[in-house]
Amino acid sequence: MAADCIFCKIATGEIPSEMVHEDERCVVFRDINPQAPTHLLVIPRAHIVGMAHLDAADLELLGHLLVVAGEVAEAEGLAESGYRTVINWGPDSGMEVPHLHLHVLGGRRMTWPPG
């Protein structure tokens, strides 16, 4: 837990969120500024800053985040229509919150390439 991290505080419940999934390793909540009809954020409870901070010790956790992303997307009714998963890292990506998070976006047709 990083003392000044908004997503660490969401994971502990210190900052309220619309939580859709919680387990020992991760939580999933609705994005406060949704970019699609369904916009969820899957985050590890552990404070990992982002992609550039991962190593082999994180393999199991990363697999878990992806499996949970698929499960919550299915629970949202997106399994057939489809959805997009995104992990931003660094200034060029537009990343705002330095705590690893996986976006799950669905409920509308996406464009490609992303902006």
21 is a catalytic site residue? no
Single-letter residue type at 53: H
Give me the least distance between CB of 98 and ligand AMP, in Å please. Answer: 8
Total binding residues toward ligand AMP, as defined by CB under 6 A: 13
User: Quick count: other Cβ atoms within 10 Å of Cβ 16?
Assistant: 9
Q: Which does 71 bind (CB under 5 to 8 A by kind): ligand AMP, Zn ion, none?
A: none
Distance in angstroms (rounded) separating the CA atoms of residues 3 and 55: 23
Written as six digits, the tokens of 84 are 């997009």
List 2, 20, 31, 85, residue binding ligand AMP (CB under 6 A): 31
Binding mask 34-73 for Zn ion (x = CB under 5 A): -------------x--------------------------
Neighbour-count burial for 83-108, b at 16+ CB within 10 Å, e otherwise: bbbeebeeeeeebeebbbbbbbbbee
Q: Interface with ligand AMP by CB under 6 A: which residues?
A: 6, 15, 17, 29, 31-33, 41, 88, 94-97
Q: Which positions are catalytic?
A: 101
